[in-house]
Structure 1
């Protein structure tokens, strides 16, 4: 069977596409999820995810290479490492919690969500909310429109500026 060639998105002028390129497959966000739950050692990742060692090695190496995890030795003989979230990795937490909230709403059964997050500061069970960074109101699809940002390539700017998605409010 011929393998499907993966389209690289790393250089697309879109943060969603670049993030999808980083994630690459379904295992990568699950490895990050386990890291957020406190898993640090290779064998613990393998056991909790029931993932092949070769696939896990590839995903951990990619996350280290991309700066989301840091490989830190915890034993000398034989040398063994832990995988620790970096600042860049910890900044991915809201992405996973947003996915979790959506999954809890649309994919959980009648019994409810399988995992609940508890905010240790106030003690309440909580969920992710996406809010405006300025006014702190919830960001709703109907209230947001996309505009070209400063990082959009000049060579594509004129063509993109004529696309309806960048010149009109969202269709309701």
Structure 2
């Protein structure tokens, strides 16, 4: 995409992040990439999204450095999409959404997938925000320092 994207003008980090990955398909593409999906056709089968929408979101995620496109590892003519370090840094965001959804969007006892540690098979524990010295942080215990016009 030529020119600046909307998020590049926002002084709020949340607004910038939402502008890039806050759309349904973008987040689900990132989720699938964490689950090992690499090829266009596999993303399309997993998500059931229209080809033009998928192509647009993949292009944006590559342009913004969340995914990288490279020749398929099996030597075929296909391209693969892989998470970059910038994309891998979204893992806590995906886990937080997953855990929020498990807590508030499923009835007690309703079946859903579970995130487990690959090596041990243990379920991943609840995310918790902490200060640099290890104290747990709540929303009530924080405040946002707004950027002033001259900063």
- What displacement does 1:123 show? 4.0
Runs of 5+ consecutive residues of structure 2 not aligned to the other structure: none
Alignment partners' CA distance in 2, 1:127 and 1:62: 32
Give the TM-score taking structure 2 as reference length: 0.85
Give the TM-score taking structure 1 as reference length: 0.76
Runs of 5+ consecutive residues of structure 1 not aligned to the other structure: 1-6, 158-172
> What is the match of residue 13 of structure 1?
11
Alignment partners' CA distance in 2, 1:38 and 1:47: 13
Would the aligned equivalents of 2:131 and 2:137 in 1 still touch at CA under 8 Å? no
Alignment partners' CA distance in 1, 2:111 and 2:149: 46
Pairing 1:146–2:111 present: no
Pairing 1:94–2:86 present: no
1:134 to 132, 135, 144: 132
> What is the match of residue 125 of structure 1?
123
Count of equivalent residues: 146
> What is the match of residue 24 of structure 2?
26
CA RMSD after TM alignment: 2.2
Would the aligned equivalents of 1:35 and 1:85 in 2 still touch at CA under 8 Å? yes
Max Rg structure: 1
Pairing 1:155–2:146 present: no
Would the aligned equivalents of 2:70 and 2:81 in 1 still touch at CA under 8 Å? yes
> Higher RCO, 1 or 2 (CA under 8 Å, sep at least 6)?
2
Distance 1:14 1:27, change over 3 A: same
Pairing 1:54–2:37 present: no
- What displacement does 1:122 show? 5.0
- What displacement does 1:19 show? 0.4
Q: Secondary structure, in 3 states, of the residue corresponding to 2:9?
A: coil
Alignment partners' CA distance in 1, 2:111 and 2:88: 23
- What displacement does 1:156 show? 5.8
Q: Deviations over 1:44-100 (max 9, x none)?
A: 0000001111110001000000001110112666x3100011000000110111111
> What is the match of residue 45 of structure 1?
43
Distance 1:128 1:69, change over 3 A: farther
